[in-house]
Structures are given as C-alpha cells and as structure tokens.
Structure 1
Amino acid sequence: MLKKMAIGTAAILLFFVVVGWLLPSEFKVVRTIRIEAPADIIFKHVKDLKKWQHWGVWFERDPDMQVAYAGPDSSVGMKSTWQSESQGNGEMEIVAIEENQRFIYTLVFPDMGVGSTGELTLRDKEGETVVIWHDYGDVGANPLLHYVAFFMDRMIGEDLQMGLENLKVIAEAEFQQKQ
C-alpha cells in the first residue's frame, strides 16, 4: 500500500513538472485607463518613485513598508528598495524616460528570484490621456516558476488596475485645482 502511494505521489509530481515545462516562461500583464488630465500632470506622479507611495496599492496594503531611495530623483538610475512582510522585498530602478510619454523600470524580487520590466505609456486622446501599464518578463527554465508566469495576470493584474485608478483620482483632482 505504501509503495502504491509513493508511486502515485511521484507520478503526480512528475505530471506537474512536465506540465510546468510545457507552460511558457514569459508573461505579460497589461492594464489601461483614461484620465481626464494632461500627460504632464500624470507623468510627474509616475516618474518620481517617491510619489508612487500615494497611488501604488502595495503601499496601501502595508503602511509600515520600509522604503529607501537612491540615485537622481525622477531620472534614469533612480532606485527604490523596500522591505515588507506582507508585500515582499524588492527593488525598482528607472531605466528609461521619454518625458510625458513613456516610463520604463526594472523590478526585482530577490527572495523569490523573479523580476520583470514595467512600462507606463501615456497617449493624448481627445482631451484625455490614455495610460497603459505593461509588466512583462521571463521566469527562466524552472518549470515550477512557469506556473507563476502562467498565473501572473491573475496575480498582479488587479494591482496594476487599482494603481491606475488611484493615479487617475490624484491626477484629475490636481488638474481640477489648476483650472
């Protein structure tokens, strides 16, 4: 009986590993929102990593998150690092900026061995700004991490959307005050 249970358990584990190898290692999560404010108002909240605390959902979930910043403010090379029991530890670095149009960063979660690249793209459209948030990456050859890639949209998609909605509230309120 124990031998059958061991063989059955091994077969199930082998099945999950084989399926993991068949799953893609790459992932891409995309969310979009329309904001009734010009791109320059929105972009200043995006390119300054210190301002992410006002609209990023992870900071809402853990108000005790320890965050540190390094490098030139709101410029390529600026980094934020954080430690959080509930949200994990990580590092984000700005790698490219096209003023009022595109913001690119790298994101690393060293405890999980997973990272990604993120982009926020802003496009003027009929008096509004369309903001598109992409997060994409490759988890490598580990078949167990392929499951992470497969479920990444479900894992972070809602967080990206909620962040965009928070950004919308902030940018539209600021725009209304300026009018």
Structure 2
Amino acid sequence: MALLKALLALGALLVGVLLAGALLLSPHYQVSRSVLIKAPAERVFAHLDSPAGWARWGVWYRKDPQMKVTPEGSAQGVGAAWSWTSKSEGNGRMKLTAVEAGKRVGYELQIEDFNPSTGQLELVPEAGGTRVTWTMQGDVGHRLARWFAFFMDRLVGPDFEAGLANLKQLAEKQ
C-alpha cells in the first residue's frame, strides 16, 4: 500500500512539473537551417515555386513514397498549393504565399491537429553558389503543446537538413 501511495505521489509530482513547466515555456517556435548550393539562384529557385518542384526534393515524400498528394490552386507561384495524406507523416496542406523569382518563396503550412505555421526559403548569391536558408515559425497555442515548441528545432531541424541536402544534390547535378 505504501508503494502505491508513493507511485501516485510521484505521478502527481510529474504531472505538476509538466504543467508548471509548460506555463514557463513560450508557445512560439522558429526552426532555421542553411546550406550553400554550388548553383545559380535561378537553378535552385526552379525547384521551389511549385508543388512538383517540392516533390523532387522534399524529405517527407521520401519518407513515405505511398503519400497521397493532391495539387490545389495554381500549378506554380503564389497560390500553388497541395494537400497530402500519409500514415507515417500525417495529413496536411501547404500553400505558397509569396514568390520573388530567384530570391524567396514563402509558404503557409497546416498539419492536421496543429496550428498553422509560416515559412520561407530565401536564396542569397554567395561566392561559389547560392546560400539557401529555410526558416519556419509558428505558435503551438495550447499550454501543454508548448513542450512541442521547446523541442521543435530538434524535431523538425533534421528534416530541414535532409531536405536541403536533397535540394543541393538536385540543383548541383543539373
């Protein structure tokens, strides 16, 4: 009986720490990764301004080849969008919201059961190629979900790195 009381007390303490910790954490997050691609900005940009372009280098497509992707809106540029369903990668929708040829692509991302996030891929000419910086930011909202914001860089950052590596390989090969 004493063991049961101790376990219950420990469980209550852990729940209290999780709740109190969540109150102290920010609901906002930002993830950013960068890579130097040995190719001109125009060649890199050609893979960023359409759903078909993202499908060639996006890491989530490679994680789930069975992902069902449905194009929406324009085929290219502002308004181009796509939704997907995936058992392993979740369901969601992405829409291109800003396009500056050779310079930047902005987007809005909606993953099922999460608040929307926004992001961009920025291209900056640099000696030897183009620096591509992929940034995403958002707000998780709910108090307990703030733990997701705290760990978001570690959760999403490796996928950004893998996606940028795929983009680098694709753009440099052309």
> Is the TM-score greater than 0.5?
yes
* One-letter amino acid of the structure 2 residue matched with residue 28 of structure 1: Q
Alignment of 1:166-177 (within 5 A): 166-174=166-174
Q: Quote how far apart the aligned CAs of 1:4 are.
A: 4.8
Which of 102, 105, 113 aligns to 1:103? It is: 105
Q: Which residue of 2 aligns with 1:54?
A: 56
Give runs of aligned pairs for residues 14-53 of structure 1, distance below 5 A.
14-53=16-55
- Cα shift at 1:8: 3.4
TM-score normalised per structure 2: 0.93
What is the aligned partner in structure 1 of residue 94 from structure 2? 92
What is the alpha-carbon distance in structure 2 between the residues aligned to residue 169 and residue 7 of structure 1?
54
Q: Does 1:67 align with 2:69?
A: yes
Identity %: 38
CA distances 1:12-35 after superposition (whole Å, capped 9, x unpaired):
212111101101111111101011
In structure 1, what is the equivalent of residue 10 of structure 2?
8
Segment drifting more, 4-13 vs 158-167 = 4-13
Q: Which residue of 1 aligns with 2:164?
A: 164
The farther-off stretch of 48-57 and 97-106 is 48-57
Structure 2 gap segments, 5+ residues each? none
Offset of 1:6 from its aligned partner? 3.2
Deviations 1:107-154 (A, max 9, x none): 1112x32331111000011241000000111111x2211110000111
Match of 1:148 in 2: 148
- Distance, in Å, in 2 between the alignment partners of 1:31 and 1:51 is 19
What RMSD, in angstroms, separates the aligned Cα atoms of the two structures?
1.3
Q: Unpaired segments of 5 or more residues in structure 1? A: 175-179
- CA distance, structure 2, for counterparts of residue 79 and residue 24 of structure 1: 30
Shift, 1:3, TM fit: 4.7
> Counterparts of 1:122 and 1:16 in 2: how far apart (Å)?
40
Counterpart amino acid of residue 119 in structure 2: G
Measured after TM superposition, the shift of residue 170 of structure 1 is 0.8
Superimposed CA distance per residue, residues 72-116 of structure 1 (whole angstroms, 9 cap, x where no aligned partner):
111211111000000110100111111110110011112x32331
CA distance in 2, matches of 1:74, 1:99: 12
Q: Which residue of 2 aligns with 1:132?
A: 133
